[in-house]
Amino acid sequence: MTSTAPQDHPVVPTTRGPVRGERRTDGGVRFLGIPYAQPPVGELRFAAPVAPRPWTEVLDATAYGPTAQRRPFGEVTTIPEPTVPGESVLNLNVFTPVPTPDAGLPVLVWIHGGGYVAGSSASPWYDGAAFNRDGVVLVSIGYRLGIEGFLHLPDAPDNRGVRDWIAALEWVRDNIASFGGDPAKVTVAGQSAGGGAVQTLLATPSARGLFRAAISVSGAVMRPQDRATAEAVGRTLTARTGVPATAEALRGLSDGRLLELQDALGEADPDGDALSALVLAPFADGDLVPRPVPEALPDAQVPLLLGFTAHEFAAPAEDGADGTEDEDELRGLLGALGLDEHGAARFLAEHPGAAGGDAITDWLFRAPAVALAEARAERQRPTWLYQFDWSGTAPGRAGQAYHCIDLPFAFDLLHAEGVEAALGAAPPQTLADAVHGAWVAFVRDLDPGAAWPPYGDGRATMRWHADPRVEHDPLRAVREIWLA
């Protein structure tokens, strides 16, 4: 498309209308806040996403659009996650090295984390500059969170957040060629809730054909993930707040009031149940998502790269026991997580001085990923497994490879805002080169490289630390404790 716009603000056509981006000093171009669906307000608040109305004037896409996040997630994540006010939260950002039609570059679509209740695609940790440098177009998407995105409502479509992800991927299919990307070379990726989103999309038939590969970073899904559990969450909301769990009753409430209702769901049950962290999350509704992720994912044929950090939710060093102060209490938690006495004894032997966060790390992240790799290997589905072991030096986190620490390495953004505070001084650039390089190779070639073989009979697992290496069956104890 020929444009009279200044060279530093290229204009690109989309199916709904033209958008103006911003050329960066590194030569890449970014287009921010492009709507892929109408604002989910009024009658659309709990509806499936609806395509934006067309526009004819050039849409300025040089600033991040509104975010569905209305407040930060808390201390779980160290990622800077700005909250941008506004209604048009169903928007996405495109970072491209060449906004030239039909350049045919591979595309990485990024889904942010935040426990399905928070997070922001406007984070400086999700900047696409390094991917652009290496010939990859990056797209980051926003989506509905919490009650609006995931609470089961009998008078509204289920899994509205999942429908948002699919709508964004359909936008990519229909428009990314204009930005230099190839719609047939899309990889979908995400971390934490975003990693769970990737797994959910792999289990969703209507998402098939929208991407050819997937990366799940510390992916987490609701457990159990059935419709009955989701319906029980709605009943719990009503029992605790007196507000009917229906779209009709919730549609007119303010954002602040919805957050209050969401808080009520997060409160501990009278019996002290601590396992309700992901009550607002994708679930197998029997329609859009026909089967729970653990059942469906082994059959997904697209290449999958997945893994976790070594410590995920372990307690900060200065806090000590992470709420579990003695062995009896920890044994009780392990029992609630499904381990018998033998399994609990083996866990304690493998993790001397362990606390509740160590158990949750195994239960929520490590064991499900290993189980998935095992099941896919049996079916000869291409799968690559890793554990991120490098430990930062940030105060309170020294010696830990905790939740989110791997993202600045994957995005090769070790100098981004907030990285030094989260990781400590001088994280190794050589590790960023290795992790980011493996991601680029996977997005481009559907294989992270010859040095990292697929997970199979030898259970090859990449260990990401200062000297990355592949080990064979390093997670045997996880398998024997949690998957026996």
Show which residues are catalytic.
192, 312, 403
In terms of Cα–Cα distance, which of 129, 144, 146 is closest to 66?
144
Residue with tokens 């979908």: 188
In terms of Cα–Cα distance, which of 395, 441, 8 is closest to 215?
441
Give the HSE-up count for residue 463: Cα atoms under 13 Å, Cβ half-sphere: 14
Contact 455, 385 (CB under 8 A): yes
In angstroms, rounded to a whole number, what is the distance separating the alpha carbons of residues 306 and 299? 15
Contact 453, 460 (CB under 8 A): yes
Largest Cα–Cα distance of the chain, in whole Å?
72
> At 367, is the secondary structure helix, strand, or coil?
helix
Query: 3-state SS of 182-238?
Result: EEEEEEEEEECHHHHHHHHHHCCHHHCCCCCEEEEECCCCCCCCCHHHHHHHHHHHH
DSSP state of 95: E
Contact 331, 349 (CB under 8 A): no
Nearest 5 degrees, angle CA 140-CA 360-CA 304? Answer: 40
Residue with tokens 């001085």: 353
* Burial class of residue 79, CB neighbours in 10 A (0-12, 13-18, 19+): buried
In terms of Cα–Cα distance, which of 483, 432, 453, 477 is closest to 386?
453
CA 4 to the chain's CA centroid? 38
